[in-house]
Amino acid sequence: MPELPEVETTRRGIKPHASGQVVRQVVVRESRLRWPVPPEINTLLPGSRIETVWRRGKYLLFRTGAGTLIVHLGMSGSLRVEAAGTAPKKHDHVDICLHGGNILRFNDARRFGCLLWTNDDPLEHHLLSKLGPEPLQDEFTAEYLQRLSRGRKAAVKTFIMDSRVVAGIGNIYANEALYLAGIRPGRAAGRISLDRYRELVAAVRQVLSSALEQGGTTLRDFVGGDGKPGYFRQRLKVYDHAGEPCPGCGSELRQIRLGQRSTVYCENCQT
């Protein structure tokens, strides 16, 4: 599913086309997404000016004078910029038509994504209010992780994928960061030392920053706001490489299930 780099790549691609633009019309072809598309998107968004486009965790936020549109891309969704008059494709469920001539087009084959609306502070919305710190901001530190993890028996991979702990780290980048830090994914979060958490924080920052430079990771469905795929897949060291040689030591990469998610690691390089 789109994780932080993919969502941020989408935001960066859309913001120059959307910020300052007035919404002319909203076209909803399919309202049955993860939650039904709320009526406010049709009644309040048209005529409103998009003041800015920002991100919190895996959520895109379009702030207007009338309220805030909250978008989540779900498992396979995308939000891309199209020229006015471009024919919709299969699974193009919602169009946000701008006076400048462009369309923000939401596509989601599995319909696990959502478009929601709030008139209040979006950071107080129940989907965002309990999110942990952003992994690329100063609040995300080894000391924070160690303090929060004490006494926890959950696997460290599950721990860092918990959005209440840190916002935006999904399965792909958890695998990659733990490999780079040399930490076995199944180790109990509460038994990891401060020094090793320092290595993990540095690895998370490095992996996410590199993924952002490459426009995210495209495995099957993801495209950025410009419709282009992400190229970080070419740099993945362990994710999607089970059974192949470890790039560090050459031993076969193992795959297990942790928290019902595919987990790939090296028994020699990760302890």
Write the CATH number for 203. 1.10.8.50
The reply to whether 147 belongs to the active site is: no
Q: Quick: pLDDT tens for 156-211.
A: 999 999 999 999 999 999 999 999 999 999 999 999 999 999 999 999 999 999 88
- The residue range of the domain holding 252 is 142-265
* pTM (2 d.p.): 0.88
Domains of the chain: total: 2
Q: Which of 124, 153, 171 is the last residue of a domain?
A: 124
Does 64 share its domain with 147? no
Is residue 58 flagged as an active site residue?
yes
Domain boundary among the residues 124, 156, 177 is at 124
| Partners of 231 in beta bridges | 217
Catalytic residue among 2, 5, 122, 135: 2
Encode pLDDT of 22-81 as tens digits.
999 999 999 999 999 999 999 999 999 999 999 999 999 999 999 999 999 998 899 999
CB-count exposure of residue 163 (10 Å: 0-12, 13-18, 19+):
middle
* 40 and 117 belong to one structural domain: yes
Q: At a CB cut-off of 8 Å and minimum separation 6, what does 36 contact?
A: none
Residues 43 and 85 in one domain: yes
CA–CA dist 262, 256 (Å, integer): 6
Helix (H, G, I), strand (E, B) or coil at 139: coil
Per the residue annotation, which of 15, 56, 58, 80 is the catalytic one? 58
Residue indicated by tokens 């193009």:
92
Q: Please indicate, yes or no, whether residues 220 and 154 belong to a single structural domain of this protein.
A: yes
